[in-house]
Structure 1
């Protein structure tokens, strides 16, 4: 099975803005419309129309301008377009950012545009991801640290061990890859992150969700429970004193704050299908679907993969982990058949080990803490590297060490 390669790059999400594009070609109009559907543009309000700079000047003569205006120039001479741009500047509100997309690569023309206050000049043709990248770049502060990477882990079915995978991957990110990591338990009523890390914090995610007007960086920092120097936990209260009928945007502000301060955020998403859970999955940088080798998991995993491919056309497909595999005497769907049915190679196949996983859960420890050399511990480390794009680096280090280790082994044997 071959997957269509998708560029793996961290493009920060676009803030809540208004944008209007004035296109002269159908190709650019289609690219902007596709960009408006990208997960990173979900907070932006985008309108697309034809007409170029003259249409923009006419539209804003009696109406306020949006935060971003995108103009395409194709048929006009450069002098003619600069005149139209000057006319537009007379009706543009202060603070409006202008992007020009042209069909000529001309340094002099570019300098003229920048001198008139144009924010960026792009050369056509440009695809949807190029439009998203350009809009996002307008609002990225120069020299600011990159935003944290969100990894959503969800079970294709209840009881398949998605929380166990999320917690062990988060631990591996902090210990093996030395990344500051926050694990967010989103199962407010029945979350197990506190139990798995042997933590009982007095406060957690509920305080942030049910009092959104009070949420800021200081409050979030107080709610985090520290598990180690690099790993923190935003635990769920696991209480039934109130229901969790949350709005679609309930977690937006919280995640914006975490992304600004933490390189890796692992979201332990419960097996529910609500507006907010769908939004979290679609908007995450990486998605891990955990399934068991049986029919219901296969059906649900395929449905999730198909939906996410459609909703995230500019991103890589989700990673699928087959958990609880090879249970003695249980009829199972084999890994190769499972992968063929969902149309994706499996990211990992985790063998069932009741003794190891059960003891780790009862002790409030991770698998690598119990048995650092266990096969499952290595698989969790590899999966952690894959979700943050460090698999090649890890393999390279291992490859460089292999000759030395093999030489030492030979000497010991002789």
Structure 2
């Protein structure tokens, strides 16, 4: 059937009306989309949608097979921002199949089901469980693009991206190195787009670490906040890898960089509207704008080395951030440069105890590997893929994005597909 009884959805309109609507829609952001199709007709429409100009930034892959194929695939792979599932099952079987998918789905993914059963009660049950949309096959290209646009680019849509800030408890602890490698790992591990913003405008090193020398970057974004949108932001980004883009710091002392408390808010909001992950490399400083950024972002990672000065500073940061963010998760702690020869160190457990935090990761001191990577403009993950720190960066990447690194061992204790997806 090509008609639908679902008054709740606005997608089954005539093509001319849909084209008029699509002309007014904003471009779809840098989302990852994967479809699992049971019929060549639906697969063909989805593949054609990937060529639409509104989806030029999206990463789309189409697989054969329906929900069962998706469950097998995601048992060992991360789920994208959007999963499109075609199913020819009757309602009871379709719901049962979706429940099996819950065990392997990462949090935060949206799911659209393309079904062949014209049943309003099924639609209501799916939306009750958290399915983003149920549409009836056959679906047109304009319907599909309009649906994705409504989910991710509508003015009232929730921000796509999750913002993560890295800050050092003390200067020289390697917070920038950790943030750069984690940003690279997120893009590599999850095939999900990342924007890395170097907010240390006078002394930032991201351009050196990635061997890039862009003419514009974060300074232009901040000083042009009144006209900052996704299109303007795109012009400032430097491509560092398939899924990683950089907003580089000017790294010059030709002027001072004094900002109002909310100076970086438009930049962060614009980046979050268009990119799944926004990683902020914050300077070791305490002023109005750094305090404001740390108060507003989704996740904070404090990088420290295990000595007394770092412990004092980390304790001050943790206590202050808990007061500023009483309803948010506490900051994460990463211990870096541990095991430095001849340097007295505080045991990691003793360091973490007064902070009330368990270290998310501990990275050993290795100047040869880290120095070589920095001097050649590469990440440690690229230069030495088997280095122990690579696993640490992966653990941090999984934690700050809310992804599960051990899917095969995890079983969902909740019923329904999106009980698991809503958990963070």
> What range describes the TM-score normalised by the shorter chain of this pair?
0.5 to 0.7
State the alpha-carbon separation in 1 of the partners of residues 226 and 159 from structure 2. 26
Counterpart contact for 2:221–2:267, Cα < 8 Å = yes
Of the candidates 250, 255, 261, which is equivalent to residue 263 of structure 2?
Answer: 250
Q: Quote the residue 2:357 is aligned against.
A: 344
Q: Quote the residue 2:231 is aligned against.
A: 218
Matched, 1:239 2:255: no
State the alpha-carbon separation in 2 of the partners of residues 180 and 187 from structure 1. 22
Higher relative contact order (CA 8 A, sep 6+): 2
Structure 2 gap segments, 5+ residues each: 1-152, 412-424
Deviation at 1:143, TM superposition (A): 8.5
Structure having the higher Rg: 1
Of the candidates 179, 198, 201, which is equivalent to residue 166 of structure 1?
Answer: 179
Give the TM-score of the pair, scaled to structure 1: 0.60
Secondary structure, aligned partner of 1:365: coil
Q: Quote the residue 1:302 is aligned against.
A: 315
Alignment of 1:112-131 (within 5 A): none
Q: Quote the residue 2:407 is aligned against.
A: 396
Q: Quote the residue 1:196 is aligned against.
A: 209
Deviation at 1:158, TM superposition (A): 0.4
State the alpha-carbon separation in 2 of the partners of residues 278 and 204 from structure 1. 22
Counterpart contact for 1:191–1:236, Cα < 8 Å = yes
Q: Quote the residue 2:334 is aligned against.
A: 321
State the alpha-carbon separation in 2 of the partners of residues 241 and 210 from structure 1. 15
Matched, 1:277 2:282: no
Deviation at 1:202, TM superposition (A): 0.8
Matched, 1:151 2:185: no
Secondary structure, aligned partner of 1:243: coil
Deviation at 1:145, TM superposition (A): 6.3
Q: Quote the residue 1:68 is aligned against.
A: none
Deviation at 1:314, TM superposition (A): 1.2
Q: Quote the residue 1:266 is aligned against.
A: 279
Change (3 A) 1:142 1:202: closer
Secondary structure, aligned partner of 1:297: helix
Deviation at 1:215, TM superposition (A): 1.9
Of the candidates 366, 375, 400, which is equivalent to residue 388 of structure 2?
Answer: 375
Secondary structure, aligned partner of 2:241: coil
State the alpha-carbon separation in 2 of the partners of residues 282 and 397 from structure 1. 36
Of the candidates 147, 172, 191, which is equivalent to residue 178 of structure 1?
Answer: 191
State the alpha-carbon separation in 1 of the partners of residues 399 and 375 from structure 2. 28
Counterpart contact for 1:177–1:385, Cα < 8 Å = no
State the alpha-carbon separation in 1 of the partners of residues 182 and 155 from structure 2. 32
Counterpart contact for 1:325–1:351, Cα < 8 Å = yes
Secondary structure, aligned partner of 2:313: helix
Counterpart contact for 1:152–1:281, Cα < 8 Å = yes
Change (3 A) 1:261 1:142: closer
Deviation at 1:214, TM superposition (A): 2.9
User: 1:320-351 CA deviation, whole Å, 9 max, x = no partner?
Assistant: 11100001221101101101121211111110
State the alpha-carbon separation in 2 of the partners of residues 145 and 398 from structure 1. 31
Cα RMSD between the aligned structures?
1.8
User: 1:274-315 CA deviation, whole Å, 9 max, x = no partner?
Assistant: 111011111110000000111110000011011111211111
Alignment of 1:22-171 (within 5 A): 144=157, 146-171=159-184
Change (3 A) 1:371 1:204: same
Q: Quote the residue 2:29 is aligned against.
A: none
Give the TM-score of the pair, scaled to structure 2: 0.59
State the alpha-carbon separation in 2 of the partners of residues 291 and 187 from structure 1. 18
State the alpha-carbon separation in 2 of the partners of residues 357 and 197 from structure 1. 13
Counterpart contact for 2:230–2:273, Cα < 8 Å = no
Q: Quote the residue 1:331 is aligned against.
A: 344
Deviation at 1:212, TM superposition (A): 2.3
Q: Quote the residue 2:376 is aligned against.
A: 363
State the alpha-carbon separation in 2 of the partners of residues 339 and 226 from structure 1. 37
